[in-house]
Structure 1
Amino acid sequence: MRLTVKTNLAMRVLMFCAVNTGRTVRKCEVAEACNASANHLGVIINQLGHGGFLETTRGRGGGIRLSRPPSQINVGEVFRVFEAGLPFAECFSAAENTCPIAPTCRLKIALKRALDAFYAELDMISLNELVDGNTGLEHLFDLEQVLRMSCEHA
């Protein structure tokens, strides 16, 4: 199993915003800290906004911030927004399934249970649990640190 780049970056964006709770951050700051393209992040930020995880403000002084406290953002919920449209295996997609053994295959049942267990574990984790007391992450994602680093690259 492998997560998509979008899911990975979505979690980085949310963690960056959680470390900088109470501040509106700019996409370029997130891109710098998360080692991502600002254009690619734009798509992800848009999805996170539509999913109810982020508030976005346009224009001068605009940016993004969490739409609810980190303790109320569930990691499983975030993963479902970005991973749900991708079937885990061919047989999970009614439209694209060409597997001849699908009607009698027991592997699909086992895979379904495994995926359910995977999401059940993620459902027990809040964004707050990923960032609270994580001094290494706080150091990497602290906005003042990010701004210093971006000035050094300029």
Structure 2
Amino acid sequence: MTQDNPDAPLSDFLPFLLFQAAELSSRNFQHHYQSRYGMLRTEWRVMFHLGSTGDQTAKQICNRASLHKTKVSRAVKALEEKRFLKRDTISTDRRSEQLCLTKQGKAVFADLTHVATDFDQRLEQSLGTQEHERLVATLQKLIALHQ
């Protein structure tokens, strides 16, 4: 949208562009966790949060990952069936469970972390280091503005 032409299509509407870029990047990376470990996107996101920040409840993951509780619940069940995570009831609140990666889950996370690093380096090479750094900084500012 330009100020000169308010009727222009939304093809340069920032939220749309951010969504498109995120969706396409995510689909390109999806191949790695899906073909190696049979994981779906939400399962990867749950594993990413557990691997990056440590043990959490499903509610904490929902809040941090902006995911609906039903999707997180399904992902947790699938990851548990794959023996990538385990649940422990919290003694002070029997309605909640602490989720943590198993030894196997930590190995999968470590492998996918290396794959993600390589994936990101290829993106950086495509964009150039300065443009990549500016994009990361800009995205971090946008996230901070909306938290």
Higher strand share: 2
Same fold by TM-score greater than 0.5: no
The structure with the largest helix share of the pair is 2
> What TM-score does the superposition give when structure 1 sets the normalisation length?
0.43
Q: TM-score, normalised by structure 2?
A: 0.45
